[in-house]
Amino acid sequence: MKEAKLNKNRKPLSDEEVQKAENFDDVLSRLESPKENFFQKNWPYIASVLVLGIIGVFMLGGSDKKETIATEKKQFELITPINGLNILNTEHKLIAGEEGQIVTKTGTIIKYPKNAFLNASGNPVKGEIEILFREFHDVIEIFASGIPMEYDSASNKYHFESAGMFDIKGMQEGIPLTINPDFPLVVELSSKQHGDYFNLYKLDEKGKWNYIEKDTAKKVYTQQLDSIGLAQLPQRIKTLEKNAEKTLKAQKKADKSFNKLLRENNIYQPSKANNELYSIQLKSDKNEFPELVPFKNILFEITEDNVDFTPGLANKDWDDIQLKRKNKSEYLLIMFDDLKKHTFIVRPVISASNLEGANNVFDNLLSSYDDKLGGKLLSERTVRDSLKKVYKAISDSVNILNNFASRQAYEMSEIEKSTARIKRIFTIDSFGIFNSDCPQKLPKGAVFEPIFVNGKDRSDTLSFNHIYMAELNKNALFSLYGYWGKSKKQKSGEGSGADYITQEISFNPYNKTVIWGITLDNRLAVIKPNKMSLLKKGGNGDVEMFVSSNEINDLDKLRKLLGFA
Amino acid sequence: MKQESSIYHQSKSAIELEHDIVEKAKKNVRDFAPIYKKYHAPILQFVYLRLDDKDLAIDVAQQVFLKAIENLQKYEFRGLPFSSWLYRIAINELNQLFRKNKKMRTINLNESITSDLIHEMEDEEFALHKERLAIILKKISAAEFQLIEMRFFEKRPFVEIGELLDITENNAKVKTYRVIQKLKILFKAEAV
């Protein structure tokens, strides 16, 4: 206050003076005619610029598109805090003039109506255009992008808590486009942040955020994320299962019909022995059972129907064993001893190792029989085998889709648990950087005046022009501007730690806070929450920072380093 | 009719009535006139207390209302009088001015303020040397003087000081008390 002027017993303004100064219309006129005032104040300059502009248009013939575009508002130039680390644009090619939508990897949807894009002359664009889009969802992405997060409301400074931001541009052959205000785009931004207290803002060409409107962000749950049609998958599987069921029925019918033909013509079709059932090797009578004659190594399997059979019976010495035909496919095995006759139902089978040879024999037999039956046998078998193949193909598809659906459902549920559940809807009639945000005041509770030093070498005092602060439970990036660093004395090799220039930093000791910055000699230095908690009583003095010696060229690395992962 | 409980100098119903006017003004700025009428004088006096130039004070006060109207859509009602928002705009406008020219800052001391402040310092000896107060007030920082100015020059309650300076009521009390302690030390030092 040294330079303040001191007045003693100065009277306040009198009622008359106050009344004279009262002029609401003057306030309104300042509000309503800024352009007029600007023109009035600057008319000589404006006139000269207009004259030069007109001359310029004549000299250039007025037809060069690029010259026209030069009148477009430039986007605010963002400066990324870490060289080489940024959020890159994704290019989406589309046909202008037609309506459609773009779905990004995060599930964000950009819907564009017909004739949504205009060229520099204000005419709707036709043909292929490029939409450049990037989105920012967490503190690290916002920090890396260099997007300012301060908001000035009537000279009151706020910091944004973000529910998501995006940057969108349109180009045709490298020439910027604009959005037709009559046909705005709708951006459904995937957001990780819940809550309905966010507003829509746009960054202007001077780097200031302008409030657009409230309540344009709406909750939309994740079924809209289902760009791969996962929601329709169960129905598709159900339809396939029904088809499989029908095919199986038809296949069984064909199988039955084929087997009937075999039985009617007394043709034995080899079947594989069941390892769980008992089989006996017997020599059968060639005349009584001619169907078995072409096959070697036939076994007689005791069928599941013989509930009284025990393996001990097979090892017993029998007085006599007889084989009789029960029906076209089954046989009876009758065993005699002194006292009793034991009868078991059996069927001829082939062991697994002999099955291939037996099938070859069967195929040859079938061809010779088929001639006699006028091709009926082979045609029946072809129908049956085709149906078998179709059934297998459908069953495989069902299995694949079922596996896919359960895997996707799991992944979706994981995404739902951890990431986007809400979409915030923006209707935009211009390209640029948009933000779904809520203004916040700087955290308070504890205050400290640091001398920032390198934790590995306390003689290495750190200098910053800009300090960043974030709380792990909030998606807000707080920017603190000023100077923390060596004084001129220190820089010239004189002076002590007491000459360090510092200023107060306040934070909320009840939240997990991270503070970091890029030093003037380009090193990333950070104080993680566990170290911040040591500062909750405030005070002055050395504050150790972890200084990274590695190059930061990866967002995940940065997340880990700052304690966000 | 029973008076409703109030904060600052206004009843709850008066604050709500004011809010209705602000909501109307959001749709049509001309409806802001009653607010301007109500607060023009206190805002102008608030600004003039901190400046030496009368015309500049009138212009800054107009600028405060212009800023308020321009940002009316962003105004969020928090149950406080609209004046607290206007005072905060005024503080910011003045701080911008002082950043450009520190000499614009003015301390307007009078007999009554001096007596109140001396009384607060609770030392009879100080009363004998009131003239020292003008000297020591120039030795404290702008932020410290702001607290003294609001509390003793403008007689504001701590809850309002807290709201205007964006600190808690308790913090406003503690900080003001510390400044008084500092003034005591400076007073004694001046005597040596």
**Residue of A2, A13, A444 for testing the chain B interface, max B β-carbons within 10 Å:** A13
- Whole-angstrom Cα distance, residue B107 to residue B138? 8
What per-residue confidence (pLDDT) applies to A399? 85
**What distances in angstroms separate CA A440 from CA A153, A338, A493, B95, one per listed residue?**
11, 103, 41, 21
| CA A144 to each of CA A84, A450, A526: distance values in angstroms, whole numbers, following the listed order | 10, 25, 15
B41 → chain A, closest CA residue: A18
* CA separation for the pair A242, A239 (Å, rounded): 5
Domain boundaries, chain A: 28-63, 90-221+421-434, 266-372, 442-562
* B21 near A CB under 8 A: no
Is the pLDDT score of A290 beyond 70? yes
Average pLDDT estimate for A448-468: 90
Determine, for residues B107 and A7 on separate chains, whether the beta-carbon distance falls below 8 Å: yes
CB contact under 8 A, A6 and B137: yes
Which range, of A83-87, A313-317, A503-507, B7-11, averages the lowest pLDDT? B7-11
Which residues in B lie closer than 8 A to residue A6 (C-beta atoms)?
A: 106-107, 109, 134, 137-138
Q: Cβ contacts of residue A353 below 8 Å, gap of 6+?
A: none
Residue A493 has pLDDT above 70, yes or no: no
Within 320-339 of A, beta carbons closer than 8 Å to B belong to: none
Query: Which residues in chain A have their CB less than 8 angstroms from residue B103's CB?
Result: 3-5
Q: Which residue reads 């819940």 in tokens?
A: A194
Closest CA of chain A from B173, distance in Å: 15
Write the class of the CATH domain B111-191: mainly alpha
Mean pLDDT of chain B: 85
* pLDDT tens digit sequence for A120-175: 888 899 889 999 999 998 999 999 999 988 887 666 678 888 888 999 999 988 78
Residues 6+ apart with CB under 8 A from B103: A3, A4, A5
Closest partner residue to B29 (CB to CB) among A22, A23, A28 is A28
ipTM of the complex in this document: 0.87
pLDDT at A44: 43
Least confident of A39-48, A428-437, A492-501, B162-171: A39-48
Lowest mean pLDDT among A187-201, A352-366, A415-429, B130-144: A415-429
Any CB–CB contact under 8 A between B139 and chain A?
yes
Fold adopted by A442-562: Immunoglobulin-like (2.60.40)
Residue in the block written with tokens 């248009």? A57
**Which residue is closest to B85 within chain A, CA to CA?**
A154
How many CB contacts within 8 angstroms connect chain A with chain B? Answer: 114
Contacts of B107 in chain A (CB under 8 A): 1, 4-7
Q: For chain B, what are the domain ranges?
A: 10-104, 111-191
Structurally, what CATH architecture does the domain formed by B10-104 represent?
Answer: Orthogonal Bundle (1.10)
**pLDDT at position A72 over 70:** no
B110 touches chain A (CB under 8 A): yes
